[in-house]
Structure 1
């Protein structure tokens, strides 16, 4: 005991001595040491890490805490490809103070998306990012069991019968937009130039709100309401992933938008409650009637409003980005537009397209499928590690507190799975298949989904967090595409090319200018 006390006193005396020596140095030397220490620590930590045989290879970095954030944030797929050449499919990198273990390819999809719930957590990975956007008590601000039940509540409005009703109202909203929006003004103009990053977010929010939330709620939406959703969208950036709240303008706009949208939903919910006006019209009615958890707890009206924000945000991300991308790619291929027109007219016999007709239009669906291959909305999917997990077939163990990352979008763009992956070619899906051995289905609480996630093509994710809106997305996007094709022709402006992707948001969007020149289609 005395020896330990003596050692402690010695350490204390040494600390005091070093402090006095440090303070005796000129101020510029002290400043240099303070600046250099984090860099020295970073290099020493990486050196020690490199000797650990139970850790995956770590991508070297110079800048403390920042790590590989810049190359990853600017061009994630290029970053992954460079790392794959050096380290193989499994490696780790530091992202803003967090160690991210990446596993590329279908085996990585299986490793992350089918990991045990006790071992990895989407809630712990995302809640600080999503809760300020969606609100309390929903999506990732609740237990996984609660989230699975919330998905089941919503899925009740995503049936084949409901899709039959959605298609005509989606088409009606698009025609309204064509006539009233400054992006088109059909009736006043027969041609023009449109920025698809202006038009498609608006088209998406108007069509989704009308079909899912009903005409009452749609009437409350206008271009300014679409802008509120755009402000919410800007809450999904890498900096928000690390710092949920900062005194910056886009944080303030995010919070104001969340309050205004939530208040709008609450007003309608309260009005229906007051008038006992709860039927079977829309998702709002469905949630007001059926959102009771298995343990008997009922969702509060505020939680219903928050969940509605989450549902529309999910569709907003996927459909706005995807429809913008397929308009741009088709602008390069007028012959493909004509091929689509012929398919639509043949199947529909010149009548309005229905949900059943959409199922009989392979080229329409393959255009959507190919767009999602080339431009998966989320380039990275994260989970936080809650218990150490071994990497199959290796000596590596990912420790508790680290994150795992999977990127189906990287596999989508790999020549190992898709020949000429950089070429937009919907006809590749005429013969190409991404099916794997049937591994059966599993019900995580919101209906049966495939157990298998080892396909190289997973645009809607997989496992318990698989997107439940896949069928609705195809209905919405199919209706948008067929309505555009039947109404207008379009091309890229002279000398323009399809824009490069912008990866600085959490959603893969085209860099501006993202414009098309359109003209009214002459009916045959």
Structure 2
């Protein structure tokens, strides 16, 4: 029976024949796709990762474990290769040269807005971040960065510590002297509360316990990989996302208006106050709806990376209790009494805690892939390859942090390794001003937890301070260890856009004694 007979019979309505036709079509599709890859290799395009299905391509293997996918392909194809991701041709360029090529690419050649706007604009709102021309985005980053200067960071220390202490006292999961908890949801709440109180003021922080809670959850659910392809599809989570975005905009706008009416726009050095005073370069004040949308972006964007990093820190300390006790002794050395409060100055005197954070960001980078849309044909130096405008470029700087060539025994969490490496930020010599102040480009570094180039994270100092304060209070309050029967730490969940601990990620906790003695201080020294 030839294919035409099968089609004719299928049209007659036989379920068996319909299934057979589908099987034949799938087979022919796979066959044509394989023949194209084998017989029609382009001499001027990077090698294509072999795949059977033309649209699905390598989506599944990439999605399950991106780092395994990157390294497997690197061994077979080298640092540069192309794979199919939901119908898109994505060209990966690994290593220092790849980071420089992509993250410091010229604006006319590579574009971030076209990649990320479909995901962020429905969540953050119009006229901010990736929904504006790059020049305006750089202006907005400059205005936000002003509110993250060291003077502001100083005022945030006490606010953050108070939020962590209050959370640990009122949370049922930490009632009593010991217990077992699933850490990631609790660390997410701590991160959200500390960020909102310091950056956005007490009105926003108070609403997180009531009004904002449901809105935040709905917006958070909007950060799904499917929305890269179908951001406006009327899925239930997308309808809730859109409604929550409108409601949160109204709440922020109301806060702004109330501050203006009472003539008292300032609550510490919060970002709402900062932006209410700011103007663009042409003298135009920032419209209220843009302030509101920037506040939503601040609330959402940094929370994920900081919450997953704080979770990984605590999970590793639970797996290595001896390291937690080393940290506790450092706390005693710096603070004297564990009940003493943190200051901007004394948190700079905790090198081991700083190295714990560095090591955690190395081993568990929150973002594994950074993408840019190609705008012009881009030749790759030293090869005959040219990346065409139909492709997306993908940088994966975090792969170097997991490579033994750069970090011996890279799969081992060892904060002490940084004692010989030193501060990676001191090694960033090249700098540039993209419109929001001079920053290290850092694209040739082996350690880029905050990215590089014009889209480098402007909140890195805030995030490091936040992580330091959260970890400091946790270490002084608890002893942690793995739950019974568990060794090491949990695996990584790559199902969302952020690499996070696979849940449940449970640890056992024991509250430290409040009866601090002179011997404790001697042990700490």
Alignment TM-score, normalising by the size of structure 1: 0.91
Q: Which residue pairs with 1:284 in the alignment?
A: 272
Secondary structure at 1:219's aligned position in 2?
A: helix
- Among 242, 252, 259, the alignment partner of 1:272 is 259
CA deviations 1:281-314 (Å, max 9, x no partner) are 3100111110x22233433211111111111222
Secondary structure at 1:126's aligned position in 2?
A: helix
Secondary structure at 1:517's aligned position in 2?
A: strand
Question: Does the Cα contact within 8 Å between 1:131 and 1:140 map onto a contact in 2?
Answer: yes
Q: Which residue pairs with 1:417 in the alignment?
A: 406
C-alpha separation in 1, matches of 2:200 and 2:436: 20
CA deviations 1:466-494 (Å, max 9, x no partner) are 00011001111100011111111111111
Question: Does the Cα contact within 8 Å between 2:450 and 2:456 map onto a contact in 1?
Answer: yes
Q: Which residue pairs with 1:516 in the alignment?
A: 507
Secondary structure at 2:421's aligned position in 1?
A: coil
CA deviations 1:129-171 (Å, max 9, x no partner) are 1111111111111111111111111111112121221111111
Secondary structure at 1:431's aligned position in 2?
A: helix
Residues 1:330 and 2:317 aligned together: yes
Q: Which moved more, 1:309-318 or 1:276-285?
A: 276-285
- Residues 372-521 of structure 1: matches in 2 within 5 Å? 372-433=361-422, 434=424, 439-497=429-487, 498-521=489-512
| Displacement of 1:40 | 4.2
Question: Does the Cα contact within 8 Å between 1:379 and 1:508 map onto a contact in 2?
Answer: yes
The structure-2 alpha-carbon separation of the partners of 1:279 and 1:352, relative to structure 1 and needing over 3 Å to count, comes to closer
Give the gaps of 5 or more residues in structure 1. Answer: 1-18
| Displacement of 1:405 | 0.3
Question: Does the Cα contact within 8 Å between 2:397 and 2:448 map onto a contact in 1?
Answer: yes
Question: Does the Cα contact within 8 Å between 1:436 and 1:455 map onto a contact in 2?
Answer: no
- Among 283, 290, 295, the alignment partner of 1:303 is 290
Question: Does the Cα contact within 8 Å between 2:207 and 2:213 map onto a contact in 1?
Answer: no
Residues 1:246 and 2:237 aligned together: no
C-alpha separation in 2, matches of 1:490 and 1:400: 51
CA deviations 1:490-515 (Å, max 9, x no partner) are 11111123110001111011001111
- Among 96, 103, 106, the alignment partner of 2:86 is 96
| Displacement of 1:36 | 4.4
C-alpha separation in 1, matches of 2:120 and 2:509: 37
C-alpha separation in 2, matches of 1:49 and 1:390: 20
Residues 1:349 and 2:309 aligned together: no
Question: Does the Cα contact within 8 Å between 2:442 and 2:448 map onto a contact in 1?
Answer: no
Question: Does the Cα contact within 8 Å between 1:503 and 1:509 map onto a contact in 2?
Answer: yes
CA deviations 1:337-384 (Å, max 9, x no partner) are 111111111112223121211111100111111110011110100000
Question: Does the Cα contact within 8 Å between 2:201 and 2:267 map onto a contact in 1?
Answer: no
- Residues 3-42 of structure 1: matches in 2 within 5 Å? 24=8, 26-27=10-11, 28=17, 31-32=22-23, 34-42=25-33
The structure-2 alpha-carbon separation of the partners of 1:222 and 1:279, relative to structure 1 and needing over 3 Å to count, comes to closer
Question: Does the Cα contact within 8 Å between 2:202 and 2:267 map onto a contact in 1?
Answer: no
- Among 117, 137, 140, the alignment partner of 2:107 is 117
The structure-2 alpha-carbon separation of the partners of 1:171 and 1:94, relative to structure 1 and needing over 3 Å to count, comes to same
Q: Which residue pairs with 2:209 in the alignment?
A: 222
- Residues 205-216 of structure 1: matches in 2 within 5 Å? 205-216=192-203
Secondary structure at 1:459's aligned position in 2?
A: coil
Secondary structure at 2:169's aligned position in 1?
A: helix
Aligned CA RMSD, in angstroms, stands at 2.1
Q: Which residue pairs with 2:14 in the alignment?
A: none
- Among 32, 35, 55, the alignment partner of 2:45 is 55
The structure-2 alpha-carbon separation of the partners of 1:44 and 1:274, relative to structure 1 and needing over 3 Å to count, comes to farther
Q: Which moved more, 1:262-271 or 1:493-502?
A: 262-271
The structure-2 alpha-carbon separation of the partners of 1:164 and 1:438, relative to structure 1 and needing over 3 Å to count, comes to closer
| Displacement of 1:439 | 4.3
The count of aligned residue pairs is 501
Q: Which moved more, 1:370-379 or 1:27-36?
A: 27-36
| Displacement of 1:22 | 9.5
C-alpha separation in 2, matches of 1:513 and 1:279: 41
Give the gaps of 5 or more residues in structure 2. Answer: 12-16, 521-525
Residues 1:64 and 2:69 aligned together: no
Secondary structure at 2:147's aligned position in 1?
A: coil
C-alpha separation in 1, matches of 2:289 and 2:5: 59
Q: Which residue pairs with 1:256 in the alignment?
A: 243
The structure-2 alpha-carbon separation of the partners of 1:516 and 1:256, relative to structure 1 and needing over 3 Å to count, comes to farther
Secondary structure at 2:163's aligned position in 1?
A: helix
Secondary structure at 1:58's aligned position in 2?
A: coil
Q: Which residue pairs with 1:152 in the alignment?
A: 142
| Displacement of 1:224 | 7.0
CA deviations 1:73-127 (Å, max 9, x no partner) are 0000011111011101111100001000001111111111011110000001111
